[in-house]
Structure 1
Protein backbone atom coordinates (compact mmCIF):
# COMPACT_ATOMS: atom_id res chain seq x y z
CA UNK A 1 0.00 0.00 0.00
CA UNK A 2 1.39 3.46 -0.87
CA UNK A 3 1.97 6.35 1.52
CA UNK A 4 -1.11 7.93 3.03
CA UNK A 5 -1.06 10.99 0.79
CA UNK A 6 -1.75 8.83 -2.28
CA UNK A 7 -4.71 7.04 -0.73
CA UNK A 8 -8.19 7.37 -2.11
CA UNK A 9 -10.35 9.30 0.41
CA UNK A 10 -12.96 6.88 1.76
CA UNK A 11 -15.43 7.68 4.52
CA UNK A 12 -15.87 3.96 5.17
CA UNK A 13 -12.42 3.86 6.79
CA UNK A 14 -13.79 5.72 9.79
CA UNK A 15 -16.70 3.33 10.39
CA UNK A 16 -16.63 1.06 13.40
CA UNK A 17 -17.12 -2.17 11.48
CA UNK A 18 -14.26 -1.38 9.08
CA UNK A 19 -11.91 -0.53 11.93
CA UNK A 20 -12.84 -3.72 13.79
CA UNK A 21 -12.25 -5.97 10.77
CA UNK A 22 -9.02 -4.19 9.83
CA UNK A 23 -7.75 -4.48 13.39
CA UNK A 24 -8.47 -8.21 13.39
CA UNK A 25 -6.69 -8.67 10.08
CA UNK A 26 -3.73 -6.59 11.27
CA UNK A 27 -3.28 -8.89 14.28
CA UNK A 28 -3.33 -11.96 12.05
CA UNK A 29 -0.63 -13.29 9.74
CA UNK A 30 -2.46 -11.89 6.70
CA UNK A 31 -0.52 -9.24 4.79
CA UNK A 32 -1.95 -6.25 2.92
CA UNK A 33 -0.49 -7.58 -0.32
CA UNK A 34 -2.29 -10.88 0.13
CA UNK A 35 -5.56 -9.01 0.64
CA UNK A 36 -4.89 -7.09 -2.60
CA UNK A 37 -4.38 -10.34 -4.50
CA UNK A 38 -7.58 -11.83 -3.08
CA UNK A 39 -9.46 -8.96 -4.74
CA UNK A 40 -8.46 -10.48 -8.10
CA UNK A 41 -9.92 -13.81 -7.00
CA UNK A 42 -13.27 -12.17 -6.33
CA UNK A 43 -13.04 -10.37 -9.68
CA UNK A 44 -12.39 -13.65 -11.50
CA UNK A 45 -15.38 -15.23 -9.76
CA UNK A 46 -17.60 -12.25 -10.55
CA UNK A 47 -16.48 -12.14 -14.19
CA UNK A 48 -17.17 -15.86 -14.56
CA UNK A 49 -20.65 -15.40 -13.12
CA UNK A 50 -21.37 -12.54 -15.53
CA UNK A 51 -20.27 -14.48 -18.59
CA UNK A 52 -21.21 -18.06 -17.77
CA UNK A 53 -24.15 -17.78 -15.37
CA UNK A 54 -25.97 -14.46 -15.92
CA UNK A 55 -29.14 -15.76 -14.25
CA UNK A 56 -30.98 -14.04 -11.42
CA UNK A 57 -28.88 -15.84 -8.82
CA UNK A 58 -25.70 -15.44 -10.84
CA UNK A 59 -26.08 -11.69 -11.18
CA UNK A 60 -26.79 -11.28 -7.47
CA UNK A 61 -23.66 -13.29 -6.67
CA UNK A 62 -21.69 -11.19 -9.17
CA UNK A 63 -22.82 -8.06 -7.31
CA UNK A 64 -21.61 -9.66 -4.08
CA UNK A 65 -18.23 -10.35 -5.71
CA UNK A 66 -17.98 -6.69 -6.72
CA UNK A 67 -18.52 -5.61 -3.12
CA UNK A 68 -16.07 -8.19 -1.78
CA UNK A 69 -13.50 -6.87 -4.23
CA UNK A 70 -14.09 -3.36 -2.89
CA UNK A 71 -13.81 -4.65 0.67
CA UNK A 72 -10.36 -6.03 -0.17
CA UNK A 73 -9.41 -2.65 -1.61
CA UNK A 74 -10.51 -1.03 1.65
CA UNK A 75 -8.83 -3.41 4.06
CA UNK A 76 -5.47 -3.77 2.30
CA UNK A 77 -4.83 -0.08 2.87
CA UNK A 78 -6.15 -0.05 6.42
CA UNK A 79 -4.07 -3.05 7.41
CA UNK A 80 -1.01 -1.51 5.76
CA UNK A 81 -1.32 2.02 7.15
CA UNK A 82 -3.29 1.78 10.37
CA UNK A 83 -2.03 -1.74 11.08
CA UNK A 84 1.61 -0.85 10.43
CA UNK A 85 2.17 -3.58 7.84
CA UNK A 86 3.47 -1.55 4.91
CA UNK A 87 5.93 -3.23 2.56
CA UNK A 88 8.41 -1.91 -0.03
CA UNK A 89 6.34 -3.38 -2.86
CA UNK A 90 2.99 -2.32 -1.41
CA UNK A 91 2.47 0.38 -4.01
CA UNK A 92 2.61 -2.21 -6.79
CA UNK A 93 0.12 -4.45 -5.03
CA UNK A 94 -2.15 -1.47 -4.46
CA UNK A 95 -2.36 -0.56 -8.14
CA UNK A 96 -1.93 -3.67 -10.32
CA UNK A 97 -4.67 -5.83 -8.75
CA UNK A 98 -7.06 -2.88 -9.13
CA UNK A 99 -6.39 -2.62 -12.84
CA UNK A 100 -6.78 -6.38 -13.30
CA UNK A 101 -9.99 -6.56 -11.27
CA UNK A 102 -11.51 -3.57 -13.08
CA UNK A 103 -10.75 -5.08 -16.47
CA UNK A 104 -12.11 -8.50 -15.55
CA UNK A 105 -15.44 -7.12 -14.38
CA UNK A 106 -15.96 -4.57 -17.16
CA UNK A 107 -14.83 -6.80 -20.04
CA UNK A 108 -17.06 -9.59 -18.72
CA UNK A 109 -19.97 -7.16 -18.61
CA UNK A 110 -19.48 -6.48 -22.31
CA UNK A 111 -19.61 -10.17 -23.17
CA UNK A 112 -22.71 -10.64 -21.02
CA UNK A 113 -24.65 -8.10 -23.09
CA UNK A 114 -23.12 -9.54 -26.29
CA UNK A 115 -21.23 -6.32 -26.97
CA UNK A 116 -17.61 -7.28 -26.26
CA UNK A 117 -16.29 -4.07 -27.80
CA UNK A 118 -18.17 -2.00 -25.22
CA UNK A 119 -16.68 -4.03 -22.40
CA UNK A 120 -13.16 -3.67 -23.75
CA UNK A 121 -13.69 0.05 -24.35
CA UNK A 122 -14.95 0.53 -20.80
CA UNK A 123 -11.99 -1.40 -19.39
CA UNK A 124 -9.53 0.65 -21.44
CA UNK A 125 -11.06 3.93 -20.32
CA UNK A 126 -11.18 2.76 -16.70
CA UNK A 127 -7.47 1.97 -16.84
CA UNK A 128 -6.83 5.34 -18.47
CA UNK A 129 -8.45 7.14 -15.52
CA UNK A 130 -5.83 5.55 -13.27
CA UNK A 131 -3.07 6.42 -15.74
CA UNK A 132 -4.09 10.09 -15.76
CA UNK A 133 -4.22 10.10 -11.95
CA UNK A 134 -0.77 8.53 -11.72
CA UNK A 135 0.57 11.01 -14.27
CA UNK A 136 -0.51 13.86 -12.03
CA UNK A 137 1.29 12.21 -9.15
CA UNK A 138 4.43 11.74 -11.26
CA UNK A 139 4.35 15.47 -12.06
CA UNK A 140 4.46 16.24 -8.35
CA UNK A 141 0.80 16.96 -7.71
CA UNK A 142 -1.54 15.25 -5.28
CA UNK A 143 -3.19 12.32 -6.99
CA UNK A 144 -6.65 13.26 -8.20
CA UNK A 145 -9.38 10.75 -7.37
CA UNK A 146 -12.27 12.84 -8.70
CA UNK A 147 -15.07 11.35 -10.81
CA UNK A 148 -17.59 11.34 -12.25
CA UNK A 149 -16.65 7.67 -12.69
CA UNK A 150 -13.79 6.84 -10.37
CA UNK A 151 -13.34 3.23 -9.23
CA UNK A 152 -15.95 3.31 -6.42
CA UNK A 153 -18.45 4.88 -8.82
CA UNK A 154 -17.76 2.27 -11.51
CA UNK A 155 -18.25 -0.55 -9.06
CA UNK A 156 -21.41 1.04 -7.68
CA UNK A 157 -22.84 1.25 -11.19
CA UNK A 158 -21.85 -2.35 -11.87
CA UNK A 159 -23.36 -3.55 -8.60
CA UNK A 160 -26.62 -1.71 -9.24
CA UNK A 161 -26.67 -2.95 -12.83
CA UNK A 162 -26.30 -6.55 -11.67
CA UNK A 163 -29.01 -6.26 -9.02
CA UNK A 164 -31.49 -4.49 -11.28
CA UNK A 165 -30.49 -6.81 -14.10
CA UNK A 166 -31.27 -9.81 -11.91
CA UNK A 167 -34.82 -8.55 -11.39
CA UNK A 168 -35.19 -7.53 -15.02
CA UNK A 169 -33.99 -10.89 -16.27
CA UNK A 170 -36.29 -12.75 -13.92
CA UNK A 171 -39.42 -10.85 -14.92
CA UNK A 172 -38.71 -9.73 -18.50
CA UNK A 173 -35.82 -11.84 -19.72
CA UNK A 174 -34.00 -8.72 -20.98
CA UNK A 175 -30.65 -7.15 -20.09
CA UNK A 176 -31.24 -3.42 -20.53
CA UNK A 177 -29.91 -2.63 -17.04
CA UNK A 178 -26.62 -4.34 -17.79
CA UNK A 179 -26.33 -2.49 -21.10
CA UNK A 180 -27.02 0.80 -19.33
CA UNK A 181 -24.33 -0.01 -16.75
CA UNK A 182 -21.78 -0.73 -19.47
CA UNK A 183 -22.57 2.53 -21.29
CA UNK A 184 -22.47 4.59 -18.09
CA UNK A 185 -19.12 3.09 -17.08
CA UNK A 186 -17.56 3.76 -20.49
CA UNK A 187 -18.91 7.28 -20.94
CA UNK A 188 -18.32 8.20 -17.30
CA UNK A 189 -14.75 6.92 -17.43
CA UNK A 190 -14.09 8.99 -20.53
CA UNK A 191 -15.43 12.09 -18.77
CA UNK A 192 -13.28 11.29 -15.74
CA UNK A 193 -10.18 11.20 -17.94
CA UNK A 194 -11.14 14.63 -19.25
CA UNK A 195 -11.81 16.17 -15.83
CA UNK A 196 -8.59 14.82 -14.35
CA UNK A 197 -6.53 15.89 -17.36
CA UNK A 198 -8.00 19.39 -17.26
CA UNK A 199 -7.22 19.63 -13.55
CA UNK A 200 -3.59 18.61 -14.13
CA UNK A 201 -3.28 21.11 -16.98
CA UNK A 202 -4.63 23.87 -14.75
CA UNK A 203 -2.08 23.00 -12.05
CA UNK A 204 0.74 23.01 -14.58
CA UNK A 205 -0.29 26.42 -15.87
CA UNK A 206 -0.51 27.77 -12.34
CA UNK A 207 2.88 26.34 -11.50
CA UNK A 208 4.40 27.73 -14.69
Structure 2
Protein backbone atom coordinates (compact mmCIF):
# COMPACT_ATOMS: atom_id res chain seq x y z
CA UNK A 1 0.00 0.00 0.00
CA UNK A 2 1.21 3.51 -0.79
CA UNK A 3 2.37 5.05 2.50
CA UNK A 4 1.18 8.46 1.27
CA UNK A 5 -2.33 7.23 0.61
CA UNK A 6 -5.04 8.07 3.14
CA UNK A 7 -6.01 4.88 5.02
CA UNK A 8 -9.72 4.15 4.38
CA UNK A 9 -11.28 0.89 5.58
CA UNK A 10 -14.13 1.24 3.08
CA UNK A 11 -11.77 0.36 0.22
CA UNK A 12 -11.95 -3.28 1.22
CA UNK A 13 -15.76 -3.33 1.21
CA UNK A 14 -17.36 -5.49 -1.46
CA UNK A 15 -19.70 -2.72 -2.64
CA UNK A 16 -16.79 -0.30 -3.07
CA UNK A 17 -14.87 -2.78 -5.20
CA UNK A 18 -17.99 -3.52 -7.23
CA UNK A 19 -18.57 0.17 -8.01
CA UNK A 20 -14.87 0.58 -8.80
CA UNK A 21 -15.14 -2.20 -11.37
CA UNK A 22 -18.18 -0.49 -12.91
CA UNK A 23 -16.36 2.84 -13.14
CA UNK A 24 -13.36 1.18 -14.77
CA UNK A 25 -15.61 -0.58 -17.29
CA UNK A 26 -17.30 2.75 -18.06
CA UNK A 27 -13.83 4.06 -18.92
CA UNK A 28 -14.02 6.88 -16.36
CA UNK A 29 -10.60 8.19 -15.41
CA UNK A 30 -9.58 8.91 -11.80
CA UNK A 31 -9.02 12.54 -12.79
CA UNK A 32 -12.59 12.89 -14.07
CA UNK A 33 -13.89 11.47 -10.80
CA UNK A 34 -11.71 13.90 -8.85
CA UNK A 35 -13.15 16.86 -10.77
CA UNK A 36 -16.67 15.53 -10.17
CA UNK A 37 -16.06 15.96 -6.43
CA UNK A 38 -15.82 19.73 -7.00
CA UNK A 39 -19.09 19.70 -8.92
CA UNK A 40 -20.93 17.90 -6.12
CA UNK A 41 -19.49 20.23 -3.49
CA UNK A 42 -20.47 23.28 -5.54
CA UNK A 43 -24.02 22.06 -6.13
CA UNK A 44 -24.44 21.27 -2.45
CA UNK A 45 -23.20 24.61 -1.18
CA UNK A 46 -25.21 26.56 -3.75
CA UNK A 47 -28.30 24.73 -2.56
CA UNK A 48 -27.50 25.69 1.05
CA UNK A 49 -27.03 29.34 0.16
CA UNK A 50 -30.30 29.41 -1.74
CA UNK A 51 -32.16 27.72 1.10
CA UNK A 52 -30.45 27.29 4.48
CA UNK A 53 -33.47 25.42 5.78
CA UNK A 54 -34.57 21.82 5.32
CA UNK A 55 -34.17 21.36 1.57
CA UNK A 56 -30.86 23.19 1.25
CA UNK A 57 -29.39 21.42 4.28
CA UNK A 58 -30.32 17.97 3.01
CA UNK A 59 -29.08 18.68 -0.52
CA UNK A 60 -25.80 20.02 0.83
CA UNK A 61 -25.36 16.96 3.06
CA UNK A 62 -25.94 14.75 0.02
CA UNK A 63 -23.46 16.81 -1.99
CA UNK A 64 -20.83 16.30 0.71
CA UNK A 65 -21.33 12.54 0.74
CA UNK A 66 -21.13 12.37 -3.05
CA UNK A 67 -17.95 14.44 -2.89
CA UNK A 68 -16.49 11.95 -0.39
CA UNK A 69 -17.47 9.03 -2.60
CA UNK A 70 -15.60 10.67 -5.46
CA UNK A 71 -12.58 11.00 -3.17
CA UNK A 72 -12.85 7.29 -2.45
CA UNK A 73 -13.33 6.08 -6.00
CA UNK A 74 -10.77 8.26 -7.74
CA UNK A 75 -8.06 6.53 -5.74
CA UNK A 76 -9.58 3.08 -6.13
CA UNK A 77 -9.93 3.44 -9.90
CA UNK A 78 -6.34 4.68 -10.05
CA UNK A 79 -4.75 2.04 -7.82
CA UNK A 80 -7.03 -0.99 -7.69
CA UNK A 81 -8.32 -0.35 -11.20
CA UNK A 82 -4.87 0.21 -12.63
CA UNK A 83 -5.71 3.60 -14.16
CA UNK A 84 -2.95 5.75 -12.64
CA UNK A 85 -1.79 8.69 -14.75
CA UNK A 86 1.28 10.90 -14.80
CA UNK A 87 -0.69 13.86 -13.42
CA UNK A 88 -2.84 11.82 -11.06
CA UNK A 89 -1.15 13.21 -7.95
CA UNK A 90 -2.12 16.72 -9.07
CA UNK A 91 -5.77 15.78 -9.47
CA UNK A 92 -5.66 13.90 -6.17
CA UNK A 93 -4.81 17.06 -4.22
CA UNK A 94 -6.12 20.16 -5.99
CA UNK A 95 -9.81 19.18 -6.30
CA UNK A 96 -9.84 18.31 -2.59
CA UNK A 97 -8.62 21.77 -1.64
CA UNK A 98 -11.15 23.44 -3.96
CA UNK A 99 -14.06 21.33 -2.69
CA UNK A 100 -13.09 21.97 0.94
CA UNK A 101 -12.89 25.71 0.36
CA UNK A 102 -16.20 25.84 -1.48
CA UNK A 103 -17.99 24.02 1.32
CA UNK A 104 -16.46 25.88 4.24
CA UNK A 105 -16.50 29.37 2.73
CA UNK A 106 -20.01 28.71 1.43
CA UNK A 107 -21.16 27.54 4.86
CA UNK A 108 -19.89 30.78 6.36
CA UNK A 109 -21.88 32.84 3.86
CA UNK A 110 -24.98 30.69 4.30
CA UNK A 111 -25.18 31.45 8.03
CA UNK A 112 -23.91 35.03 7.92
CA UNK A 113 -20.34 34.44 9.12
CA UNK A 114 -18.22 34.70 5.95
CA UNK A 115 -15.03 35.63 7.83
CA UNK A 116 -15.26 32.45 9.89
CA UNK A 117 -15.89 30.44 6.75
CA UNK A 118 -12.78 31.85 5.09
CA UNK A 119 -10.72 31.20 8.22
CA UNK A 120 -11.96 27.59 8.41
CA UNK A 121 -11.11 27.08 4.73
CA UNK A 122 -7.62 28.50 5.24
CA UNK A 123 -7.02 26.31 8.29
CA UNK A 124 -8.28 23.25 6.40
CA UNK A 125 -5.94 24.00 3.49
CA UNK A 126 -3.03 24.37 5.91
CA UNK A 127 -3.66 20.89 7.32
CA UNK A 128 -3.07 19.53 3.82
CA UNK A 129 -0.04 21.78 3.36
CA UNK A 130 1.60 20.44 6.51
CA UNK A 131 0.85 16.86 5.45
CA UNK A 132 2.27 17.31 1.96
CA UNK A 133 5.27 19.21 3.32
CA UNK A 134 6.16 16.19 5.40
CA UNK A 135 6.05 14.08 2.27
CA UNK A 136 8.15 16.59 0.34
CA UNK A 137 11.06 16.14 2.76
CA UNK A 138 10.93 12.37 2.53
CA UNK A 139 8.69 11.54 5.48
CA UNK A 140 5.51 9.50 5.48
CA UNK A 141 2.54 11.83 5.07
CA UNK A 142 0.51 12.12 8.27
CA UNK A 143 -3.27 11.95 8.00
CA UNK A 144 -3.90 12.30 11.73
CA UNK A 145 -6.59 14.59 13.12
CA UNK A 146 -8.33 15.72 15.19
CA UNK A 147 -9.92 17.43 12.17
CA UNK A 148 -8.73 15.69 9.01
CA UNK A 149 -10.87 15.88 5.87
CA UNK A 150 -13.21 13.03 6.80
CA UNK A 151 -13.74 14.56 10.24
CA UNK A 152 -14.51 18.00 8.80
CA UNK A 153 -17.04 16.56 6.41
CA UNK A 154 -18.60 14.37 9.11
CA UNK A 155 -19.06 17.37 11.43
CA UNK A 156 -20.56 19.44 8.63
CA UNK A 157 -22.89 16.65 7.48
CA UNK A 158 -24.25 15.99 10.97
CA UNK A 159 -24.71 19.72 11.57
CA UNK A 160 -26.59 20.11 8.28
CA UNK A 161 -28.99 17.31 9.14
CA UNK A 162 -29.56 18.77 12.60
CA UNK A 163 -29.96 22.22 11.06
CA UNK A 164 -32.88 20.91 9.02
CA UNK A 165 -34.64 20.34 12.34
CA UNK A 166 -33.40 23.52 14.04
CA UNK A 167 -34.35 25.73 11.11
CA UNK A 168 -37.84 24.24 11.04
CA UNK A 169 -38.48 24.58 14.77
CA UNK A 170 -36.59 27.76 15.66
CA UNK A 171 -35.64 29.45 12.36
CA UNK A 172 -32.05 29.66 13.59
CA UNK A 173 -28.70 28.14 12.56
CA UNK A 174 -26.69 27.92 15.76
CA UNK A 175 -25.67 24.31 15.17
CA UNK A 176 -24.12 25.20 11.82
CA UNK A 177 -22.23 28.04 13.50
CA UNK A 178 -20.98 25.69 16.22
CA UNK A 179 -19.95 23.17 13.58
CA UNK A 180 -17.99 25.82 11.67
CA UNK A 181 -16.23 26.91 14.87
CA UNK A 182 -15.37 23.27 15.65
CA UNK A 183 -14.01 22.74 12.14
CA UNK A 184 -11.93 25.91 12.26
CA UNK A 185 -10.49 25.24 15.71
CA UNK A 186 -10.01 21.55 14.99
CA UNK A 187 -8.19 22.31 11.75
CA UNK A 188 -5.77 24.59 13.60
CA UNK A 189 -5.22 21.82 16.15
CA UNK A 190 -4.60 19.37 13.30
CA UNK A 191 -1.92 21.65 11.86
CA UNK A 192 -0.24 21.56 15.27
CA UNK A 193 -0.46 17.77 15.70
CA UNK A 194 0.84 17.12 12.19
CA UNK A 195 3.69 19.59 12.63
CA UNK A 196 4.66 17.91 15.90
CA UNK A 197 4.51 14.52 14.17
CA UNK A 198 6.91 15.79 11.49
CA UNK A 199 9.24 17.11 14.18
CA UNK A 200 9.23 13.74 15.95
CA UNK A 201 10.01 11.92 12.69
CA UNK A 202 12.88 14.30 11.96
CA UNK A 203 14.32 13.89 15.45
CA UNK A 204 13.97 10.13 15.18
CA UNK A 205 15.78 10.12 11.83
CA UNK A 206 18.55 12.28 13.29
CA UNK A 207 19.07 9.85 16.18
CA UNK A 208 19.26 6.93 13.75
CA UNK A 209 21.95 8.69 11.70
CA UNK A 210 24.09 9.40 14.74
TM-score by length of 1: 0.97
Deviation at 1:4, TM superposition (A): 2.5
From 119, 122, 126, give the equivalent of 2:120.
Answer: 122
CA distance, structure 2, for counterparts of residue 140 and residue 91 of structure 1: 16
Is this contact kept in 1: 2:159–2:179, CA < 8 A? yes
Is this contact kept in 2: 1:4–1:81, CA < 8 A? no
Q: Encode CA deviations 1:111-160: one digit per residue, 9 max, x unaligned.
A: 11211110000000000000000010011111000000000000000100
* 1:12 alignment partner in structure 2: 10
* 1:87 alignment partner in structure 2: 85
Q: Give runs of aligned pairs for residues 186-197 of structure 1, distance below 5 A.
A: 186-197=184-195
Deviation at 1:57, TM superposition (A): 1.1
How many residues matched? Answer: 206
CA distance, structure 2, for counterparts of residue 50 and residue 118 of structure 1: 17
Structure 2: where are the runs of 5+ without partners?
none
CA distance, structure 1, for counterparts of residue 182 and residue 144 of structure 2: 16
* 1:153 alignment partner in structure 2: 151
TM-score by length of 2: 0.96
* 1:53 alignment partner in structure 2: 51
Tell me, yes or no, if structure 1 residue 113 matches structure 2 residue 111.
yes
Structure 1: where are the runs of 5+ without partners?
none
* More displaced stretch, 83-92 vs 19-28: 19-28
